[in-house]
Amino acid sequence: MPRYALQVEYHGAPFAGWQRQADQPSVQGAIEAALAKLEPRAHTIAAAGRTDAGVHATHQVAHCDMEREWDPFRLSEALNYHLKPQPIAIVKAARVADDWHARFSANERRYLFRLVVRRAPLVHEGGLVWQVKNPLDGAAMQEGANRLLGRHDFTTFRSSICQADSPVRTLDELRVEEIERPDAQEFRFHVRARSFLHNQVRSFVGTLERVGAGSWTPDDVTEALEAKERSACGPVCPPEGLYLAGVGYEDDPFV
């Protein structure tokens, strides 16, 4: 059965997350239903990462197995037709080797988190960013972020229901970028690692927001990391500002 890689973009608000659910809408379920319109049978797709409810993606990657050969462009166009009007798009499709796997062949995941500081309600970005009302110190947040770089036991920054075998991960990048805009203060957190723990990025951002607000110091971030206790974590921020922004492979199937 020929295998295809899919680059997927979606707005996470209407979904209970990526993973198929029996009684709730999911991104995986929607794409599998669209595939069944093309080849009527049960389909199971695999993704590079399982995003939680409300989390978005600009560059999720999944793979599917088809019974017949498809032109990749025609496959993406047909899937987009059957996915309407759901906020999911197949940006690209590519033929890959039969042993290529969206999850296990990946060597890097990249996330983006958008935080906007503004007193007035956000009319056009509601549900797409985390809004807070009081100014934040970007330099302090970056100093706190630097304490998390490298290989650590991230028990403090993972969900209590995380199913990963080990809390040890290597964090390659946690960069805080301030965006100039006339109506608000915006910070974008760029996070990169081979793999992540459940709620790890949202735990990072929620903690760093406390540093930016002055409630925590960068030294407090170090102490929280070294505590290796979930109770030492700062608040976990809401999901709507989080985006799966990229997945890396040794040979990118979409290039």
Q: Write down the catalytic residue from 52, 65, 153, 172.
A: 52
8 found inside a domain: yes
The count of structural domains within the chain is 2
- The tens place of each residue's pLDDT in the chain, 255 residues long, gives 999 999 999 999 999 999 999 899 999 999 999 999 999 999 999 999 999 999 999 999 999 999 999 999 999 999 999 999 999 999 999 999 999 999 999 999 999 999 999 999 999 999 999 999 999 999 999 999 999 999 999 999 999 999 999 999 999 999 999 998 999 999 999 999 999 999 999 999 999 999 999 999 999 999 999 999 999 999 999 999 999 999 999 999 999
Q: Which domain holds residue 176?
A: 107-246
Domain end among 104, 139, 167? 104
Write the CATH number for 192.
3.30.70.660
As a three-state string, the secondary structure of the chain is CCEEEEEEEECCCCCCCCCCCCCCCCHHHHHHHHHHHHCCCCCCCEECCCCCCCCEEEEEEEEEECCCCCCHHHHHHHHHHHHCCCCEEEEEEEEECCCCCCCCCEEEEEEEEEEEECCCCCCCCCCCCEEECCCCCHHHHHHHHHCCCEEEECHHHCCCCCCCCCCEEEEEEEEEEEECCCCCEEEEEEEEECCCCCCHHHHHHHHHHHHHHCCCCHHHHHHHHHHCCHHHCCCCCCHHHEEEEEEEECCCCCC
Whether residues 117 and 226 fall in one domain: yes
- Output the pTM of the full model: 0.96
Known catalytic residue: 219?
no
